[in-house]
A and B are shown apart, each in its own frame.
Chain A
Amino acid sequence: MDGRLVRWFLWVLLFLGLLLVVGLFSLSVGSTGFSMREIFLSLSMEGSVAHSIVFQLRLPRILLGFAVGGALSLAGVILQGLFRNPLVEPYTLGISGGAALGVSLGMVLRLHLVLGLFFLPLSGFLGAVVVIVMVYSLSTKRGVLRIQGLLLTGVMVSFISSSLIMLIMAISRVEDLHSIIFWIMGFLGETDWWMVEVMGAVALAGLVLSYFFALDLNALALGEEQARYLGVEVERSKKLLFLLASVLTGLCVSSAGIIGFVGLVVPHFVRMLVGQDHRILLVASFLCGAGFLVLCDTLARTVIAPMELPVGVITGIVGGVLFIYALTKKQVTLG
């Protein structure tokens, strides 16, 4: 069984390598292509065009993509383990709906013009927090968090908020409509360094925190009661894990819009590759999700260049097709 640690290490190394390749690839392609050599040269040439394209436009976007992709996919693994259901993803819980509603409201009321651009992520995050608190308290009875109730409440909240968003879109001005639609479909382009820093820090902190619950998640695969018989403080773990996944999702949605499928498809594939043990699954999903999103984003900004596609469209198409392909190949189930 010592071989297992070696195997895990090799997986992490492989995924890190892939991440690096994806990152460099994404740095080099675009409306202006650069060779690796040009990228390295531009490193020292501050003020050059190459430098500003690579380091002020592409790098922050890539880093944000890594952070968002990693965090979404981490939230997906956590929730799938918690619900013992491979079809749960961060957005099933209505968090994205709440965030989208918050942003739409902010845009229609033009608050960002008054309060500054940072208001959009902020209103998104506030929307997410409202939904998290609501779903959480509706599903808690006598101090017990009811997992199935949580799922149903979340799905219903999603429906309600998407209806409200449609209502807002129906009565909003044309110029707002376009930005709402673009935001809802997910976009990594509008990046500030501070956003990258916050998102990156939160994503990494989430990964570290999730490791305190890796064994609890393994035990929860047997069901809540069985996990308790193994000495796991099930209620505490469930609540903290739900909060962790929610905060990660809320922050992702507020900084990059709604990017579907990353949190659903990536953990699924990673589980096929590395197995069910959350001690490897968490970090592997994080790394793969990061790479997958940046790859999709690179596609999004190159396929019809100089125009850009919303990255959520790409992740949806690529992820969905891969998922169906995988389902016809091999049945992976939880529980």
Chain B
Amino acid sequence: MMLEARQLTCGYEDGFFLQGVNLAVARGEFLGIIGPNGSGKTTLVRALARGLKPMEGEVLLEGRDIWRIPLKEFAQRVAVVSQDSQVSYMRVEEYVLLGRIPHYGPFQFLETGRDLEVARRAMELAGVTHLKGRLMDEMSGGERQLVLLARALAQEPELLLMDEPTAHLDIAHQVAVLDLVRRLKEELGLTVVVVLHDLNLASEYSDRVLLMKEGRVRAMGTSHEVIREGLLKEVYGVEVLVQEHPISSRPYVMVISGRGKETVAWDR
């Protein structure tokens, strides 16, 4: 298994917890994580990315506890694209080159030819080569997301963790980002774990889907096993219609207006 969580329990000081999370992702798999707001998706990604220490249980990268892997080696193998990737006054090329930092040798001061080459390829793959001289804060949300992805690719990771890479994007950019991720998975054998808010995108792109509810894993399986009317109603508390996508024959979720939950918990 590429990535595994065993009885993972962790949380924040304010009392929000992930409890007893078990999951396993095979090499080259695309795992989509879904769940309502506040169900712990982002927390789970942080725990898998070594951003949050487990209180109980463990996270394993190819059988090794991630907290025992040297930080630098971990960063060479796992890249993270977070939701709140703060963007600074920096040019796109410089930004993408930051992804090479984990690969620097102990006394290396400048990027090597190989670093530059990898960054160039990463920009090419993400289709942002033409933006390389632009400033990060001059770009649209969709372009920026692609640049973030290019930076992650410059790390040459085996595992890519993404937290809502399609948030605030229009459908063209949503499809562009996820098509790219799927292509990377297929061509480079990248293992991908992505938090997705949009159930239809999750259903369409994921090999398997993990459904979170209140800090626990409620269901995990293929989209046909997880994206079901009853399960979604139980977790999200809203009635939906699930039908088959005419082209991909994956489950497709439709909302029914006027059938929303009467009181949505606005807590998180």
Binding site for B on A (CB under 8 A): 1, 5, 84, 211, 214-215, 218-219, 221-223, 225-226, 228-233, 275-277, 279, 332-335
Q: Is B71 an interface residue (CB 8 A)?
A: yes
User: In the complex, which of the residues B72, B75, B79, B85 contacts A222, with contact meaning CB atoms closer than 8 Å?
Assistant: B85
Bound form: Cα–Cα A67–B238 in Å: 67
User: In the complex, which of the residues A211, A225, A232, A276 contacts B101, with contact meaning CB atoms closer than 8 Å?
Assistant: A232
B88 touches A229 (CB 8 A): no
> Which residue on chain B has the smallest CB distance to residue A233?
B71
User: In the complex, which of the residues A218, A225, A279 contacts B82, with contact meaning CB atoms closer than 8 Å?
Assistant: A225
24 pairs, CB–CB < 8 Å, chain A vs chain B? A1-B93, A84-B88, A214-B109, A215-B101, A215-B104, A218-B101, A222-B86, A226-B80, A226-B82, A228-B50, A229-B78, A229-B79, A230-B98, A230-B155, A231-B73, A231-B75, A231-B76, A231-B102, A232-B71, A276-B88, A279-B109, A333-B137, A334-B89, A335-B86
Secondary structure call for the A interface: loop
Contacts of B102 in A (CB 8 A): 230-231
Contacts of B101 in A (CB 8 A): 215, 218-219, 230-232
- Pairs of residues from A and B, 4 with the lowest C-beta to C-beta distance, nearest first: A231-B75, A231-B102, A231-B72, A229-B80
Count class of interface residues, chain B: 20 to 34
B88 touches A231 (CB 8 A): no
Nearest CB of B to A332, in Å: 6
Nearest CB of B to A221, in Å: 5
Nearest CB of A to B33, in Å: 18
A225 touches B72 (CB 8 A): no
Q: Is B260 an interface residue (CB 8 A)?
A: no
Contacts of B50 in A (CB 8 A): 228-229
Contacts of B207 in A (CB 8 A): none
Contacts of A279 in B (CB 8 A): 109-110
Contacts of B75 in A (CB 8 A): 229-231
Bound form: Cα–Cα A222–B74 in Å: 18
Q: Is B158 an interface residue (CB 8 A)?
A: no
A225 touches B51 (CB 8 A): yes
A5 touches B51 (CB 8 A): no
A276 touches B90 (CB 8 A): yes
| CB under 8 Å from chain A, chain B span 89-143 | 89-91, 93-94, 98-99, 101-102, 104, 109-111, 116, 137
B89 touches A218 (CB 8 A): no
Bound form: Cα–Cα A233–B86 in Å: 19
Q: Is B49 an interface residue (CB 8 A)?
A: yes
Contacts of A226 in B (CB 8 A): 80, 82, 85-86
Q: Quick one: which of A1, A230, A233, A275 has the most chain B CB within 10 A?
A: A230
User: In the complex, which of the residues B51, B89, B94, B110 contacts A229, with contact meaning CB atoms closer than 8 Å?
Assistant: B51
Bound form: Cα–Cα A264–B102 in Å: 31
Bound form: Cα–Cα A223–B80 in Å: 13
Contacts of B78 in A (CB 8 A): 229
Bound form: Cα–Cα A1–B119 in Å: 11
Contacts of A84 in B (CB 8 A): 86, 88
A277 touches B85 (CB 8 A): no
Bound form: Cα–Cα A233–B76 in Å: 14
A230 touches B89 (CB 8 A): no
Bound form: Cα–Cα A5–B113 in Å: 13
Q: B29-69 toward A: CB 8 Å interface, digit per residue (1/0)?
A: 00000000000000000100111000000000000000000
Q: Quick one: which of A1, A214, A229 has the most chain B CB within 10 A?
A: A229
Nearest CB of B to A57, in Å: 40
Nearest CB of B to A236, in Å: 10
